[in-house]
Amino acid sequence: MQKLNLSQVLSQKLSPQQIQFIKLLQVPTAELDQRVEEELEINPALEEGKEEEKKESEEEDFEDNYDEDLGYDDKDVNLDDYLNDDYGGYKMQGDGNYSPDEEEREIPISSGISLHEQLISQLGFLKLGERQKLIGRQLIGSIESDGYIRRDLEAIINDLAFGQNIETDIDEIEEILRKIQGFDPAGIAARNLQECLLIQLERKEHPDDPSVQTAIRIINECFDEFTKKHYAKIQKKLDIDEEVLKESVNIITRLNPKPGGISDGLIKTQYIIPDFILINADGKLEVTLNSKNAPELRVSRSYSEMFDAYEKSDKKDKKLKETVTFVKQKLDAAKWFIDAIKQRQHTLLRTMQAILDYQYEFFIDGDETKLKPMILKDIAEKIEMDISTVSRVANSKSIQTEFGIFPLKYFFSEGIATDSGEDVSNKEVKSVLQTMVEGENKRKPLSDDKLVKLLNDKGYNIARRTVAKYREQLNIPVARLRKEL
């Protein structure tokens, strides 16, 4: 049985202007030029150049026209539609730090030949028949971005049978694989790390050198012990002295464990353009926006005049009415875009100034230990804006200082309690932890338990699991793997 119910629902709506501002806010400086160019191309009512001063009466008339039906109905824009788009901020640990999932931005790719193309080119120099070349191409196509073939050879044989109508066997495919493993870069097309290191050792300039031969024996006979740095077991098993072991291990550690080297076989270059410039003028810190963040844009005068002319004409003509609506929409969109750019500049500066005031001591000399615990909520309250707005600003923006370029999210961190009852930034703790590891005796590296004790002795109340977490964030391996001869 069908029923008709009437219910009241309260929901938030975002206007098109708000959506445009929020999306522009999170665009980094490097991409803003492109975004402006796109808008200039699609909107003839928007022009480059300084905005002309308008008479007060003209401004009022222009504003009044925005209230008419332009095809942009604010009521039709749902907040959920916006929040579920592809844009987002970044995630920080600690209360008050949250945002939507990080967006994936396209990184500029420098021109050059890909790894796949290099290998195909080298395959052409081998004296292979057409059948073997097809097998070689299939193998090269199975090489992953780090240079390894992890796909089972039996699966590749099946692919050749079904896709290329080529019947082959393990012996033939391994024979061609060995030829490809002789290509540059050394170690390419290995099926695992052990094979990758062996290929590189066998291609050494002096393969008969005793140290190289011992290195080959270590990888062949003691690979498990080597990965766990059980050097005493290796020394005993191979019956070699410590000096020979040290030289051989040194040779192995200088090999390339990822011969593909670069993801997707292409060099990816990320160009960092700072959004803010910080100048220290005799102790007075001055922050300015990068000039690229302030493009000069204006509403087209000719379009405004065209609109005025159409407004005064007879609107009974259907085509003329459609033309008036079109011109209104373009003028409307142009003004919205200019206002969104200005609001973006204002919000960026307010947020950066609040961060500057909060972390003033750090910005004076760049000493990481002077960073205070700071979360998104702290800055949001200071500038009286939403946390998500601060997140969008911090997500992809950076500042140029006298001591380097820093992403804004670098200045946000959790607090760690000390014996004195104060809170210090976890970056300070990480800095102390890094110093401890760098100064340790590499023959007897510090365990996590020992690091906890040393940090507690310095007044930092920190648990073992937190030390392990910070060590991993600093890319410091466990004590056993830091051990050296």
Quote the pLDDT of residue 182: 92
Quote the pLDDT of residue 179: 93
**Bridge partners for 297 per DSSP:** 48
Query: How many other β-carbons are positioned within 10 Å of the β-carbon of residue 427?
Result: 22
DSSP string, 417-451: EBTTS-EEEHHHHHHHHHHHHHTS-TTSPPPHHHH
Average pLDDT for residues 364-387, to the nearest whole number? Answer: 87
Query: What gap in Å lies between CA 53 and CA 257, rounded to an integer?
Result: 63
Element (H, E) at 286: strand 284-289
- Per DSSP, 373 falls in state P
Residue 196 pLDDT greater than 60, yes or no: yes
Quote the pLDDT of residue 15: 64
Sign (positive/negative) of CA torsion 356, 358, 360, 365? negative
Quote the pLDDT of residue 79: 36
Per-residue confidence band for 82, with pLDDT thresholds at 50, 70 and 90:
very low
**pTM for the full model?**
0.52
Distance from chain centroid for Cα 406: 14
Higher pLDDT, 105 or 129: 129
Query: What gap in Å lies between CA 144 and CA 115, rounded to an integer?
Result: 10
Query: How many other β-carbons are positioned within 10 Å of the β-carbon of residue 432?
Result: 19
DSSP string, 83-143: HTSS------SSTT---SPPPPPPPPB-----HHHHHHHHHTTS---HHHHHHHHHHHHT-
Per-residue confidence band for 483, with pLDDT thresholds at 50, 70 and 90:
confident
Distance from chain centroid for Cα 297: 30
Average pLDDT for residues 213-223, to the nearest whole number? Answer: 93
Instruction: Give the orientation angle of helix 193-202 with respect to helix 242-253, to 10 degrees.
Output: 100
Average pLDDT for residues 210-223, to the nearest whole number? Answer: 92
Quote the pLDDT of residue 313: 66
The pair of three-digit structure tokens given for residue 123, joined into one six-digit string: 């395959």
Question: pLDDT tens, 443-479?
Answer: 888 888 889 888 888 888 888 888 888 888 888 888 8
Would strands 284-289 and 404-407 be described as parallel, antiparallel, or unpaired? unpaired
Would strands 297-299 and 415-417 be described as parallel, antiparallel, or unpaired? unpaired
Query: What gap in Å lies between CA 278 and CA 262, rounded to an integer?
Result: 34
Query: What gap in Å lies between CA 403 and CA 368, rounded to an integer?
Result: 11
Question: pLDDT tens, 291-349?
Answer: 777 778 888 888 777 777 766 666 566 777 777 788 788 888 888 888 888 888 899 99
Query: What gap in Å lies between CA 69 and CA 148, rounded to an integer?
Result: 60
Query: How many other β-carbons are positioned within 10 Å of the β-carbon of residue 15?
Result: 14
Higher pLDDT, 446 or 97: 446
Distance from chain centroid for Cα 353: 24
The set of residues, in sequence order, having a beta carbon less than 8 Å from that of 359 and lying 6+ positions away, is 370, 371, 372, 374, 411
Quote the pLDDT of residue 417: 66
Quote the pLDDT of residue 423: 64
> Cβ distance 249 to 225 under 8 Å?
no
Domains, the chain, with CATH or none: 13-108+271-413 (no CATH), 115-263 (no CATH), 415-482 (1.10.10.60)
Lowest-pLDDT range of 149-153, 185-189, 260-264: 260-264
Average pLDDT for residues 399-427, to the nearest whole number? Answer: 78
Residue 346 has, within 13 A of its CA and on its CB side, a CA count of 10
Quote the pLDDT of residue 155: 92
What Cα–Cα distance (Å) separates residue 97 from each residue in 66, 90, 375, 412? 37, 9, 6, 9
Query: What gap in Å lies between CA 149 and CA 157, rounded to an integer?
Result: 14
Tokens 């028949």 — which residue?
Answer: 129
Question: pLDDT tens, 147-183?
Answer: 999 999 999 999 898 888 899 999 999 999 999 999 9
Query: What gap in Å lies between CA 450 and CA 150, rounded to an integer?
Result: 39
Residue 109 pLDDT greater than 50, yes or no: no
Residue 76 has, within 13 A of its CA and on its CB side, a CA count of 5
